[in-house]
Amino acid sequence: MATQTRYPHELIETQQDLDRAYARLARPAGPGGSTALRRRVIRLSAQLLAHPYWSSPAGAGASLGELRAQAREHAAGGGSP
């Protein structure tokens, strides 16, 4: 069985925020439009990718796909960050 990568708490939270923002963006835009939400998605994506974890030895073998899966698991109550 492969060991699961342990991501920093703030990465899990940022990924969850990004998932929520994408879900809101998928809904029809309200009267204010979706510009602010699109900007939030861009900002969260940049924050996620620029995190120092990715350039650390711990982040060398980590993947964004695994981070997304763990963030969804934590959001569903399946784990603690």
Convert the pLDDT of each residue in 19-65 to its tens digit.
Answer: 999 999 999 878 878 899 999 999 999 999 999 999 999 998 899 99
Q: How far apart are CA 56 and CA 59, in angstroms?
A: 5
> What DSSP letter does each residue of 14-70 carry, written as one string?
HHHHHHHHHHHHHSPP-TT-SHHHHHHHHHHHHHHHT-GGGGSTTTTT--HHHHHHH
> pTM of the full predicted structure?
0.84
Evaluate whether 71 touches 12 at the Cβ level (below 8 Å): yes
C-alpha distance from residue 55 to each of 38, 51, 67 (Å): 27, 8, 15
